Amino acid sequence: MQYEIIGDNLQMVTLRLAMGEKACAEAGAMVNMSGNMQMTTNMKGGLFKGLKRITTGESFFMTEFTPEGGGGFVTFAGNVPGKIFTLDLTKGEFIAQKTAFLCSEPGVDLDIAFTKRLRSGIFGGEGFILQRLSGAGMAFLHCCGDIMEMTLAPGEVVRVETGLVVGFEKTVDYNIALAGGVKTVFFGGEGLFLATLTGPGRVILQSMNVAKLANSLIPYLPTQSSS
């Protein structure tokens, strides 16, 4: 499989599949495809896997794309302005925020993961349930805004505004800590808690999340005037 990520802040990814190759995607993510591409909708992994996907914000069904009579292409995009990045799952498992998954090769397994600590689930901005990606092959994830990628050394710590953590390798420890002192908490404008990521491992951060995007648009939305 060959791929190309297209665009800047409204990115799409085009997968070029040879005869016999397949791709799996979140339902509704397809933008365009070649005329010989066949779509099949199924519960990848069965009923139980489908139900678990729902808990991570993904769809119950997955769509499988297969070219017939030769190679073909299919293009996917996320549902908010943002970037697409790649994961090579042969290098190990990756834990991602809910709804981040876009598409992958069929050998990639999408499952659920739970935050290890109570306060991480309550205040981390991601909830108790995250996505666990494993298996063999390439996966493509989508985030809101721009991407910052970091590789943390053992014991290295980065503190992030809650809700802006896209994902991290399973070797990374994820926790929540107070943002600072009383004045910082109430007047700093950064919220009460920060996500704390401790290496070693790869970390993906985003500059925006859907909640912040929605809040920035509220002042410009039309309101009903009283009759």
Going from N- to C-terminal start, the domains of the chain cover: 2-216
Query: Is the link from the previous residue into 81 a cis peptide, with omega within 30 of 0?
Result: no
The pTM of the full predicted model, rounded to 2 decimals, is 0.78
pLDDT value at 69 more than 50: yes
Token pair recorded at residue 218: 């509220």
**Cα dihedral 211→215→217→222 (10° resolution):** 120
The mean pLDDT value for 56-70 works out to: 79
pLDDT digits (tens, 9 = 90+) for 37-50: 999 987 665 454 55
Residue 28's pLDDT is 84
The second-level CATH assignment, the architecture, of 2-216 is 4-Layer Sandwich (3.60)
pLDDT digits (tens, 9 = 90+) for 209-227: 877 777 777 888 887 654 4
Residues 94, 134: Cα–Cα separation, whole Å: 7
Residue 116's pLDDT is 55
Buried b (16+ CB within 10 A) or exposed e, 13-46: bbbbbeeebbbbbbeebbeebbeebeeeeeebee
The mean pLDDT value for 105-111 works out to: 90
C-alpha R_g of the chain: 19
Residue 70's pLDDT is 95
